[in-house]
Amino acid sequence: MGNYLNPGNSGFARIRNDLYVDKSGLIGLINQTIDTPRRSTCISRPRRFGKSFAAKMLCAYYDKSCDSAGLFEDLAIAGDAGYREHLNQYDVIYLDMTGVIGESSIADIVPFIQRNVIRELTEQYPKLKAVEGFAATLANAAEAAGNRFIMIIDEWDAPIREAKGRPDLQRKYLEFLRSLFKNSGMTDKIFAAAYMTGILPIKKDGSQSAISDFKEFTMIKPRQFGEYVGFTEDEVRKLCRDHDSDFEKMKKWYDGYSFRDIKSVYNPNSVMEAIRNDDFDSYWTQTSAAESLMGYISLDFDGLSRTAAELVGGMDTKVDTKGFANDLVSFRDRNDVLTLLIHLGYLSYDEITQKAHIPNEEIRLEFARSIRQVKRDETIRRVRESEQLIEDTVHGREEAVAWQIEKIHEEELPLYYNNEQALRSVIKRAYFSYGDEYVMFEELPAGVGYADIVYLPKKDSVLPALLIELKWNQSAEGAIAQIRNRRYPEAVRGYGGDILLVGISYDRETPAGERKHRCRIEKYEEEYKHNS
């Protein structure tokens, strides 16, 4: 076993020794591509979404230097028709590009790979003749081995990200990949299949992928690989049952990604950490991806600051993803920035509506923290106004609350405001900085019906819960009466702190010059709380 040629199955064995969710069905999809024009697959995922786990699983399955039957016989792939045909039948070339960068300089990365792979090949096949040209040597090696290679490249885009200010080095690396995968004569001789994974899709060369023979599956269009992006809802339910964890909290914190035919996809690393630690928290802060968010939302593109505030408030935003260059620096407009955030996992994208939103509470916390660091006057003003609105609400300042809601309406939604759903969008924009103290719920089942918006304090917060009911062309007092009559406080049954009932109304028939928004705030009476 080597570092680059046939690394064995020890990496996957260690994964199996820990909490494990069976994602071996991925192998079946790759098996279907072997010796076909679809043999080159590139899958891009955010950090901590199991990319390296999948790469080690594939190494263990294909590597002919080891016997991995014991690792797979109890997994889903064992029932696949092609399971035995391909199990441990290939020489595997495995490149962990983050590891390669750690062993070499970024300028020497291509020669480093070539030297070390050829060295291990000649050790494995002493009669191999190393000739001029890396691809030609690999072709000779495949002939000597009696089978073509499976090539697995983990974090393929690490050199692109590391050399983001050096287009010459990026070009050299891409030319190396082209020499392997766009040389049809050599590629056919060398590879039975190739699998690359990274954070970003393949870098574009002009308007097209620089390595166009790869079939790409991204956070925007994962297609048949959607269920392997993260954990599905059924998988998370089982984990919660097996480990006595609260499924509803797990869903609130880590769900929110969805793809065609796969409606709920969870952040796998965060789910595992929540189970191991018995604690729902933001584990995203432990990734280097979290460090970059503030820099991206600080970029000076028209509307980006407002969009960030809307996203934190729970709104969707339209995104044109087609022009993105698939790197970290080539931004033309807000669409490119938002597209990058989709690939990084900060936003979830609906390919049907072409809209993006913050997927869950974990990521919303990161946005809320980052947006406070953005040193732009408009952003600073929005944060301060939202924080003041929360303070005014908590202290029962009804006029101040109504005034701020009206201000947000006039500034941001003058043409889209004709029902309670539109009023709700204004509320979410206005209270967007709630993330430090609250978790937000919409349409929360309670009593008879659903509470419009509930801000439930986090366990270390001293603030009261806020139950907000919205009324269109009715009174704020009527909103309060509906909260009581329909027993909406039952939505937070078990919460032991104070509860404020907040009724907000909008009357479009209000005479000119008078405020159209009204607010009524009442404390939920203790005796009623205990009797409900």
In a domain, 181, yes or no: yes
**What tens digit of pLDDT does each residue of 196-218 get?**
999 999 887 765 666 778 999 99
**What tens digit of pLDDT does each residue of 224-275 get?**
999 999 999 999 999 999 999 999 999 999 999 999 889 899 999 999 999 9
Residue carrying structure tokens 């020669």: 111
Read off the pLDDT band of 329 (50, 70, 90).
confident
Structure tokens at 266: 């969870």
Q: How many domains does the chain have?
A: 3
Lowest-pLDDT range, 142-146, 166-170, 226-230, 300-304?
Answer: 300-304
In a domain, 311, yes or no: yes
Q: What's residue 531's pLDDT?
A: 45
Q: What is the amino acid identity at position 115?
A: R
In a domain, 3, yes or no: no
Contact partners, residue 229, CB within 8 Å, separation at least 6: 45, 49, 219, 222, 257, 259, 262, 265
Q: How far from the centroid of its chain's Cα atoms is residue 124's Cα?
A: 40
Boundary-marking domain end, from 166, 185, 217: 217
- Let me know whether 121 and 143 are in one domain: yes
Boundary-marking domain end, from 371, 405, 426: 371
Boundary-marking domain end, from 371, 394, 417: 371
Q: What's residue 419's pLDDT?
A: 63
Q: Which of residues 127 and 346 earns the better pLDDT score?
A: 346
- Let me know whether 514 and 470 are in one domain: yes
In a domain, 224, yes or no: no
**What tens digit of pLDDT does each residue of 446-461 get?**
777 888 889 989 878 8
- Let me know whether 170 and 208 are in one domain: yes
Q: Going by DSSP bridges, is the β-strand pair 465-472/438-445 parallel, antiparallel, or unpaired?
A: unpaired
- Let me know whether 132 and 201 are in one domain: yes
Read off the pLDDT band of 164 (50, 70, 90).
confident
Burial class (CB in 10 A: 0-12, 13-18, 19+), 239: buried
Q: Which CATH number does the domain housing residue 187 bear?
A: 3.40.50
In a domain, 518, yes or no: yes
- Let me know whether 417 and 525 are in one domain: yes
Whole-model pTM above 0.85?
no
- Let me know whether 109 and 201 are in one domain: yes
- Let me know whether 398 and 523 are in one domain: yes
In a domain, 29, yes or no: yes
In angstroms, the Cα distances linking 249 to 153, 335, 451, 529 are 35, 32, 18, 23
Confidence check: pLDDT of 530 > 50 = no
Average pLDDT over residues 19-23: 95
Element (H, E) at 470: strand 465-472
**What tens digit of pLDDT does each residue of 336-369 get?**
999 999 999 999 999 999 999 999 989 988 888 7
Rounded distance between C-alpha atoms, residue 200 and residue 205, angstroms = 14
- Let me know whether 78 and 138 are in one domain: yes
Q: At what angle do helices 167-181 and 109-124 cross, to 10 degrees?
A: 30
Q: What's residue 290's pLDDT?
A: 42
Average pLDDT over residues 57-76: 97
Structural domain containing residue 460: 384-531
Q: Mean pLDDT in the chain?
A: 87
In a domain, 308, yes or no: yes
Contact partners, residue 61, CB within 8 Å, separation at least 6: 24, 27, 68, 72, 77, 86, 87, 88
Rounded distance between C-alpha atoms, residue 253 and residue 273, angstroms = 12
Contact partners, residue 136, CB within 8 Å, separation at least 6: 186
In a domain, 2, yes or no: no
Asked whether 164 and 327 are in contact (CB, 8 A), the reply is yes
Structure tokens at 236: 């998370």
Q: What's residue 529's pLDDT?
A: 45
- Let me know whether 59 and 134 are in one domain: yes
- Let me know whether 395 and 486 are in one domain: yes
Rounded distance between C-alpha atoms, residue 188 and residue 193, angstroms = 10
3-state secondary structure string across 112-158:
HHHHHHHHHHHHHCCCCCCCCCHHHHHHHHHHHHCCCEEEEEECCCH
